[in-house]
Amino acid sequence: MTISCPTWGIEWASDDMAATLDDLQGLGVNWIAIHPYAGIRADGTVRFKDIDPENPPEWLARPIREAHARDMKVLIKPHLAYWGSPFSWRGDITFEDEAAWKRFFEGYTRWTRQIAAATSTADAFSVGTELDKTLTRETEWRAVITEVRSVSPASLTYAANWTDYDKVPFWDALDAVGVQAYFPLVQDHGTPTADELDRGWAKVVTELRSIAEKTDKPVVLTEFGYPRSAKAALEPWIAEDQGEHEALQIAALDTAIRALDSEPRIVGGFLWKWFPGNRPPSDFAMQRPAARALIETHWGSR
């Protein structure tokens, strides 16, 4: 489960976070992910507050400590916060001149290295998330990976968008292929049948098996999930919340988890998402009763 936050992450250090881990453990969740934020500017500047890896802040240290106390493992998955920038989302981040590219990778490498060092007791680390238009900068990305390896023994992945995971040129330097698995399962609007959902995920599994064989790496779904939306099977990345479409959300989730189980090379997946404490659920939130029941049905008996 990805445990998200409505702010910059202070919630991960709270008592609510500990209670949330107890709750998730009872549903059968055995891995969690958190996603520290840095900002991005048009000129390539990566904005973040320096942290001391030797004395990591509790919002990074406590979730790892609490998860490990419950025999749960942790993925650290840094996100670039694009709001307030000219970029419409992370996959839109690119620069027109070399000075901006240099500024970006210098800042990004320093930030990522700090986070990796501060969370070196975590079990896995994603060197990037959905930065589709930066993938041609292979030399710079390999340098990022080298820096992270130098400070953390965690298993490494990169969280590639579902449209671009086959364009990542540095899978060989990582331990697993990471995919943000918001694949369309159908080709048009309308309420899909169970068979249509199954066929959609069968196609996805075939594609993911192919990348696993090509790279000789396991695949992990670094995010997957569906909103309560009429478009959930067609455009699952759109965060709409329409309660009358909860049945479609649950049917798509059920299909996804069964598909994940059907392919040994897909070693796991992180549902998106869950907020600590009693914050009202929204869009993809998994803590509503129907989603909770489905998770427990699939994972609680393991």
The domain locations on the chain are 2-299
The pLDDT assigned to 241 comes to 86
The pLDDT assigned to 243 comes to 85
Q: Which amino acid is at 94?
A: T
Closest alpha carbon to 93 in 159, 18, 40: 40
* DSSP β-ladder status, 37-40 and 46-47: antiparallel
* Residue ranges of the chain with per-residue pLDDT less than 70: none
What homologous superfamily is domain 2-299 in, according to CATH? Answer: Glycosidases (3.20.20.80)
What is the DSSP secondary-structure string of the chain? -EE--SSSSGGGGSHHHHHHHHHHHHHT--EEEE--EEEE-TTSPEE-----TTS--HHHHHHHHHHHHTT-EEEE--EEE-TTSS-SSGGG---SSHHHHHHHHHHHHHHHHHHHHHTTTSSEEEEEES-GGGTT-HHHHHHHHHHHHHH--SEEEEEEETTTGGG-TTGGGSSSEEEE-----SSSSS---HHHHHHHHHHHHHHHHHHHHHHT--EEEEEE---SSTTTTT-TTS----GGGHHHHHHHHHHHHHHHHH-TTEEEEEEEEE-STTPPP-TT-S-SHHHHHHHHHHHTT-
The pLDDT assigned to 125 comes to 99
In this predicted model, what pLDDT tens digit does every residue of 214-239 receive, in sequence order? 999 999 999 999 999 999 999 999 98
